[in-house]
Amino acid sequence: MSRINSMNNIKEYREWFKEELLAYYDEREIDAFFLRLMEEWEELDRITLAMEPGYELSEKSVDGLPLVVEQLKRYRPIQYILGKAWFYDLELEVNEHVLIPRPETEELVQWIISNLASRKNEKLRILDIGTGSGCIALALKNHFPQAEITAIDMSASSLEVAKRNAENLELPVNFQQIDMMEKEQTARLAAYDVIVSNPPYVREQEKAFMQKNVLDYEPENALFVPDSDALKFYRLIADFCVKHLIDNGTLYLEINEAMPNELIELLKEYQFSDILVKKDINEKARMVKAEKVSFSEVPNAISTN
């Protein structure tokens, strides 16, 4: 009889799970995986997990753990294994057609929510460019129910995921399949008070520093840009804003921490004002906010915090 068939309680399964994965992940990450599975399958929290070593697992966990271990050994992200991820208190469906929502994107959403708090009851027009799972658009709709939120993506498969998330959360968002590189398509869009985007920004040269769980599973077209044109999508967005962001409207962007200065120069070329670079919790420059002014005005202060 194999070891796994002889195990009886959660302590034994947890030890087995850790031993199987130690060659692939560090202990903290393995513990996080196990806790996530127990929260999902057994509705156990961290305290219960520690205080009840004799707890007997359900058949679902007993059957599921070996399957998860095999996928984790292939570096498949736990979010794709479970088919869900949490973002700003929302449970979202995710699969290989969409990026797994990141903590820094939550920080971007928090920044927007904080800045727009006084306008919560206004009928703001907000556009999310490259929506993926819909995480940004849905989190904003959840906090600004009066807002008219449109979310676009070039991928039909991504939009299917985003639409299911909107239905499951009962958060109405206008999803459209739009390719930002096709002006005939973008011309169909309206003018907005706020435009937000987390576009592809990882340079090809940076692949060497990325983990296998990202490189092997997450959608490449949502991550990477050519080394020779790293600001490709920011340029498209800035150009789009000329006609589709109202005067005194605000643009929010998630950015590559290595290129804030280059992006600032690009935004200045497009007459953006009050350009603010914001660092994330790890002190990396990961977000930009900029105000659109009319072309008759001159851009002013640029700051970092």
At the fourth CATH level, the homologous superfamily of domain 96-304 is Vaccinia Virus protein VP39 (3.40.50.150)
Contact 135, 88 (CB under 8 A): yes
Higher-scoring residue by pLDDT: 80, 57: 80
Token pair for 89: 């208190």
* pLDDT at 95 > cutoff 80: yes
Higher-scoring residue by pLDDT: 4, 196: 196
Per-residue model confidence (pLDDT) at position 55:
84
* pLDDT at 53 > cutoff 70: yes
Q: pTM for the complete prediction?
A: 0.89
Tell me what percent of the residues of the chain surpass a pLDDT of 70.
Answer: 94
* pLDDT at 258 > cutoff 70: yes
CA–CA separation, 301 and 127 (whole Å): 25
Flag the least confident range among 147-156, 171-180, 224-233: 224-233
* Mean of pLDDT values over 39-59: 84
Token pair for 68: 């998860």
* pLDDT at 1 > cutoff 50: no
What are the tens digits of pLDDT across the range 103-122?
A: 999 999 999 999 999 998 88
Which one, of 295, 290, 194, lies nearest residue 242 by Cα? 295
Per-residue model confidence (pLDDT) at position 166:
98
CA–CA separation, 260 and 283 (whole Å): 13
Q: Domain residue spans in the chain?
A: 3-74, 96-304
Contact 233, 199 (CB under 8 A): yes
**How high is the mean pLDDT of the chain?**
90
Per-residue model confidence (pLDDT) at position 219:
83
Per-residue model confidence (pLDDT) at position 2:
58
* pLDDT at 236 > cutoff 90: yes
In sequence order, the β-bridge partners of residue 276 are 289, 303
What pLDDT band is residue 291 in, cutting at 50, 70 and 90?
very high
CA–CA separation, 263 and 198 (whole Å): 14
Q: Which helix (H) or strand (E) holds 127?
A: strand 125-129
* pLDDT at 300 > cutoff 60: no
* pLDDT at 293 > cutoff 50: yes
CA–CA separation, 270 and 244 (whole Å): 13
